[in-house]
C-alpha cells in the first residue's frame, strides 16, 4: 500500500543533464573555470590588440577543460566543458593569429 503513494522514479538516462545526485566540487569548479576562461578568450579575441589575453586565457581554458573532461562524471559537466573548451580554442586560435602568446613582448 505504501508504494501506491510513492512518486515514480525517472530513469537517469532519460535526461540530457542527468546527475547521480552526488556533489562533484572539483568537476563543477573546472567546468565553471573553463566556461569563464572560454568567454573571456572569445570576447577578447575580437580585438586585435588584446591577443595576449585571448591567447593565454584560451590556452589555460583548453588545458583546464581537457583535465575536466578526464575527471568528469556527469553529462552536465561534459556539456559545459565542451562549450567552454570550444570557446577557449576559438579564442586561442584567433589570439595566435593576431600576435600569439608572446607577440611584441619578447624580441
Q: Is the pLDDT of residue 4 over 70?
A: no
Q: How far is CA 96 from the centre of its chain?
A: 20
pLDDT of residue 18: 58
Integer angstrom CA distances of residue 9 from 3, 20, 59: 12, 13, 42
> What percentage of the chain carries pLDDT values higher than 90?
66
Integer angstrom CA distances of residue 72 from 27, 77, 84, 98: 6, 6, 14, 33
**20: helix, strand or coil:** coil
Q: Where are the beta strands (DSSP E) in 1-107?
A: none
Each residue's pLDDT tens digit, 18-36: 567 788 899 999 999 999 9
What is the per-residue burial (b if ≥16 Cβ within 10 Å, else e) of 70-83?
eebebebbeebbbb
pLDDT of residue 5: 67
Please indicate, yes or no, whether the overall pTM of this predicted structure exceeds 0.95. no
Q: Average pLDDT of 1-12?
A: 60
What does the alpha-carbon distance between residue 56 and residue 99 come to, in Å, rounded to a whole number? 12
* More reliable by pLDDT, 43 or 24: 43
Q: Average pLDDT of 95-106?
A: 85
Q: Are 98 and 45 in contact (CB under 8 A)?
A: yes
Q: Which helix (H) or strand (E) holds 94?
A: helix 75-98
Amino acid at each position: 500500500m505504501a508504494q501506491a503513494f510513492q512518486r515514480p522514479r525517472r530513469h537517469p538516462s532519460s535526461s540530457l543533464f542527468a546527475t547521480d545526485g552526488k556533489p562533484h566540487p572539483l568537476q563543477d569548479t573546472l567546468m565553471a573555470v573553463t566556461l569563464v576562461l572560454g568567454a573571456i578568450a572569445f570576447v577578447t579575441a575580437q580585438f586585435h590588440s588584446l591577443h595576449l589575453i585571448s591567447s593565454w586565457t584560451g590556452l589555460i581554458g583548453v588545458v583546464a577543460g581537457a583535465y575536466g573532461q578526464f575527471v568528469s562524471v556527469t553529462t552536465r559537466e561534459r556539456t559545459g566543458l565542451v562549450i567552454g573548451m570550444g570557446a577557449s580554442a576559438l579564442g586561442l586560435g584567433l589570439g595566435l593569429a593576431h600576435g600569439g602568446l608572446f607577440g611584441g613582448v619578447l624580441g
